[in-house]
Structure 1
Amino acid sequence: MPFKKLHSEIKDALERLEIDTPTPFQKNAIPAVKSGANVFCASAIGNGKTTTLILTTLQKLKCEAVGNAPRAIVLVANKERALALYDAFLNYTKYTNLRVYVGYEELHIDVQKSEIFEGIDILITTPKSMNKLFLLNGVSTSQLKIFSIDDAEFLLQKSDNNAILSITQSILKCQYVIYSDKLHPKLKRFENYFMERARTVSG
């Protein structure tokens, strides 16, 4: 069986999108993330990192809406990446009741606060926007299960690096997964902050 032990609605989406065989990277990464461990996922562009992020997020949330506070957060570099990932998520969630929300610096923070307050399951945003939400009590992390960072090379910039450290210090407990092309030493340093006992998957 190509994609093993995934929620039936995820399998339906994969079939609809005509994705039937995991990449070698996905064969290792998906079980590692499903295990609940913190994971560094390093692989070249085109090996399925973003699809892995989406599939494991949906699996963690069991493809269903629950409560009002986000149970999954995905950090990205900028507005363009946030909107692209939002569209990618919608390909998989269109026949579920999961609520995916996208935020970024250019969208007024009061608009984000009020829309998030209405109830969401997955929040896609940038570090600066997320940090601002935290400072204004605009988002609760009390129900958070998984926190992913897509194409994490942008965290090598000092301002984004400081923002992620500030954000994670405010989160009591959840699973962290960092996706990048290569496992940079600066990313590896996050083991000293929030990536405790992290596993590494590469390929």
Structure 2
Amino acid sequence: MQSENTFAALGLAEPLLRALTDAGYTTPTPIQTKGIPAVLAGGDLLAAAQTGTGKTASFALPILHRLMETAQRTRTGRPRALILTPTRELAAQVDESVRTYGQHLPLRSFAVYGGVSVFGQSKALRRPVDILVATPGRLLDHISQGNLSLSDIEILVLDEADRMLDMGFIRDIRKIMDKMPAKRQNLLFSATFNDDIRGLANSLLTNPVSVDVAPRNTTAERVDQSLMMVPQSGKRDLLIHLIQEQQWFQVLVFSRTKHGADRLSEQLTRAGIPTAALHGNKAQNARTRALDQFKRGKLQVLVATDIAARGIDVDSLPMVVNFELPNVPEDYVHRIGRTGRAGAEGKAVSLVCPDNEMKQLRAIERVINAPIERIVVAGFTVDETRTSRQRPPRDAKAPSQRNGHRHGRANPDSQNTRNADSKRPAHPQRAPRDAQGQGRDKPAGRSLGAQGRDARPRRFGNSD
């Protein structure tokens, strides 16, 4: 008798099961268990799924299965399935996943997005493409130049629809929808649902199956969340101190602005920490190179803006740092969702300025319905009831020269601690992974339960 908790039990074709085995995927995630049969049935789908849940496989696998079953001949410049994503990085990541899952099928996928040559993409589109992954702006460019027609689209996916609306793509999305057949299958994935998303869903979907794999706006259970109260002027020194003293490696740092990301990247590099910045003003080849180096462990730190970080998919990413809190509290959930994925544990640390970020902090704690644990770092942090101007002066030595500030929770077996005979920190042994994703384009831990964690500060170093 077939076990229910397998990909085979979901009804996927043998070539797809073989590709999953080749990739090392063994057990479907909840979004895959619920979403794949719904897509295979041919109806519309409305899915609430955050990053790290395996949503890419939940639509890519059944799309490949359905296109293979119909065996319809694909015409040049007329894809049969369209997957819209908000950013270049996410488009590239989704296309890579589709190619992985479809490696044993005679189907071709291709991604079009801004920041790279339109001519090169146009040349590639002269061959038949079954599944097209695209950002809205570049897709409309190709349509206007006659390189593409959407008249044969059978399946439309809006991936991270909430982010696309946040980035102002609603008009482009509606233009694209007008160029497709009225009769098609529509799949909408979103981490959050506001009035705009619900309005889009009502206009796009017909009697959709609804799938919600987690309570709205909850944070990853395996992410150990904490924060440190520090004046804005002291954040850089504290971050350098933490990275060097705790020997953090593969750290994703979030900056609110592109300029801030560049400045922080330069400062960390000068401190001897291999770092690169990732944001929309970077050339696409620079963005691709930085992300590739970060994934392969050649960069210790990647400083990114929220939009640029969409599509970053790093297995067992151990650490996320909020150098500044996001203005939109739901973005905090997206940020820390980059760690604690595929069964791995992760940490999320936020550096909070008590002078100007308390409003954002209170909003975040309301959204996640829990207080975030406060940590004290001797010589760096301040009491949140005091402003930084009340903070007594401290030693002006460089962070790497200070003594006695070791992390109170440091564990020699931790994923963030270097082995004595290794140049890089040891990472925990990976559990079998679930299948999951990772021109005009715009812009180690304990679970945190519903009751939250005691918000009283814990010591992070000496208290003297």
User: TM above 0.5, one fold?
Assistant: yes
Match of 1:9 among 8, 15, 36: 15
Deviation of residue 65 (structure 1)? 7.9
2:108 equivalent in structure 1 = 99
Greater Rg over alpha carbons, structure: 2
1:125 equivalent in structure 2 = 134
In structure 1, runs of 5+ residues without a counterpart are none
Distance 1:141 1:111 in 2: 20
Q: Is the 8 A contact 2:136 2:169 kept in 1?
A: yes
Note the alpha carbon deviations across 1:84-103, whole angstroms, 9 max, x for none: 22222222222322111111
Note the alpha carbon deviations across 1:66-110, whole angstroms, 9 max, x for none: 322211111111211111222222222223221111111223334
Of all paired residues, the percent bearing the same amino acid is 25
2:186 equivalent in structure 1 = 176
In structure 2, runs of 5+ residues without a counterpart are 214-464
Match of 1:196 among 206, 210, 221: 206
Q: Is the 8 A contact 1:191 1:198 kept in 2?
A: no
Deviation of residue 130 (structure 1)? 1.4
- Give secondary structure in 1 for the equivalent of 2:169: helix
Q: Trace 1:1-203 onto structure 2 (pairs within 5 A).
A: 1=2, 2-3=6-7, 4-62=10-68, 66-68=73-75, 69-157=78-166, 159-172=168-181, 173-203=183-213
Q: Residues 33 and 183 (structure 1 numbering): CA distance in 2 closer, same or farther, change over 3 Å? A: farther
Task: Name which structure has the greater RCO, CA cutoff 8 Å, separation 6+.
Answer: 1
Q: Residues 126 and 70 (structure 1 numbering): CA distance in 2 closer, same or farther, change over 3 Å? A: same
Distance 1:177 1:115 in 2: 26
Distance 1:43 1:157 in 2: 17
Deviation of residue 16 (structure 1)? 1.6
Q: Residues 65 and 36 (structure 1 numbering): CA distance in 2 closer, same or farther, change over 3 Å? A: closer
Distance 1:72 1:27 in 2: 22
- Per mean C-alpha deviation after superposition, the further-off stretch among 153-162 and 53-62 is 153-162
**One-letter amino acid of the structure 2 residue matched with residue 34 of structure 1:** L
Distance 2:192 2:168 in 1: 20
Distance 1:77 1:6 in 2: 28
Distance 2:184 2:146 in 1: 19
Q: Is the 8 A contact 1:60 1:145 kept in 2?
A: no
The structure in which a higher percent of residues are helix is 1
Distance 1:191 1:179 in 2: 10
Distance 1:147 1:113 in 2: 21
- Give secondary structure in 2 for the equivalent of 1:142: coil
TM-score, structure 2 length as denominator? 0.41
